[in-house]
Amino acid sequence: MNMIRTAMLLAVMTALFMGVGYLIGGSGGMMIAFLIAAGMNLFSYWNADKMVLRMHHAVEIDERSAPELFEIVRGLSQNAELPMPKVYLIKSDQPNAFATGRNPANAAVAATTGLLDRLSYEEVAGVMAHELAHVKNRDTLTMTITATLAGAISMLGNFAFFFGGNRNNNPLGLIGVLAAMIVAPLAAMMVQMAISRTREYSADRLGAEICDQPLWLASALDKIARAAGRVRNDDAERNPATAHMFIINPLSGERMDSLFSTHPNTENRIAALEAMAAEFEETRSVAPTGPDDAPPPATTGSDGPWERKADKPESRGEKPAAKPNPWGRNPTGPKGPWS
């Protein structure tokens, strides 16, 4: 049902694009807009992931430059039965993340340095599981093409301001100009937000299943939402059409669960995850257990973002090794992209 709804929304986006073309140039403009939309969809299919990653100045990392993040993604990919995606790091103090790529075999996940600096190991795992859920659900291509079309419709709306005065080109006169400038971009934004919001709850649930810990993602969402409102993401502000791709809206000033919000209300998402965690606990309590089914030792939340107390060398009577900084770069080891 979600895939059918998404396909219908994409069809609406294409129709809006053609409608703006008609308002600018009549039937000829509509045909040109259709050809442009088809060309953009084809181009986006092959290149959208690279475009989005370049917009946010993402740098690809590996197990040498960011070993812990890379290992998290590799382990979760195995849990999700997905090919290992490319992993990128974005230099931004705002904690956030997104996934992109035309299919699971060509996917990429990206996290900001702020995410790795502010969240615990478990919370980062919850976020990466959410992004891999988008890959598994094949949301990444849909959301990227939608971002491209939404940006193009807004661009055509601006063109209407310059070309709308010619009655030979614009059959609806001033009304057509106003519709192209205001109504069409607004409608495109509403469709874009609808597509994003239909996918987030599904990705939250599947992501929680991938990491088997709904509360990891719930805690991460709470931290990211609170920090995103205080920390500006300059690349996202310059490219607002990509906002719906992030796990939490990176733009300033959007807080309501309304028609114009890029994401569902964070409190609602957390409540759904908490309910899911209760379901997990109930299932585990009635399932037969053996000596191999014992849960892992409890961890505390005050041991820093990337080191869990149970894993600390000093807890085993060993001398602690040199600790990498929060995103996994060891000052004495290979230099990473931000070194």
The residue that leads in pLDDT, 321 or 44, is: 44
Highest average pLDDT, of 143-157, 243-257, 323-337, comes from 243-257
User: Residue holding tokens 């382990």?
Assistant: 75
- CB neighbours of residue 283 within 10 Å: 9
Query: Is 134 annotated in some ligand binding site?
Result: yes
Task: Look at residue 147 and tell me whether its pLDDT is greater than 50.
Answer: yes
Looking at residue 318, what is its pLDDT?
53
Q: What is the pLDDT of residue 192?
A: 63
Q: Is the pLDDT of residue 319 over 50?
A: no
Q: How confident is the model at residue 118 (pLDDT cuts 50, 70, 90)?
A: very high
Mean per-residue pLDDT for 305-316?
A: 44
Q: Is the pLDDT of residue 241 over 50?
A: yes
From 68-82, 203-217, 292-306, the region with the lowest mean pLDDT: 292-306
Q: What are phi and psi of 100, to 5 degrees?
A: -150, 175
Lowest mean pLDDT among 39-43, 190-194, 218-222: 190-194
Spell out the domain ranges in the chain. 2-284
Predicted confidence at residue 15, as pLDDT, reads 79
Least confidently predicted of 182-186, 207-211, 228-232: 182-186
> Does residue 336 carry a pLDDT above 70?
no
Tokens for 154?
Answer: 């807004």
Q: Which residues does 90 contact at the CB level (< 8 Å), separation at least 6?
A: 56, 57, 58, 59, 96, 110, 111, 112, 113, 235
56 annotated binding-site participant:
no
Residue 313 has pLDDT above 50, yes or no: no
| Spatial distance between the Cα atoms of 329 and 215, rounded to a whole number of angstroms | 27
Residue 283 neighbours by CB under 8 Å, 6+ apart: none
The backbone region for 122, taken as left when phi is positive above 0, alpha when psi lies in -120 to 50, beta otherwise, is alpha
pLDDT in tens, 258-283: 445 668 889 999 999 999 999 998 88
Counting residues of the chain whose pLDDT is more than 70, the rounded percentage is 62
Q: What is the pLDDT of residues 179-196, one digit of tens each?
A: 666 666 676 666 666 666
Catalytic residue among 131, 237, 254, 274: 131
130 is in an annotated binding site: yes
What's the confidence (pLDDT) of residue 327?
41
Is 122 a residue of the active site?
no
Mean pLDDT in residue range 31-43: 77
Element (H, E) at 29: helix 2-55
173: left (phi over 0), alpha (psi -120 to 50) or beta: left
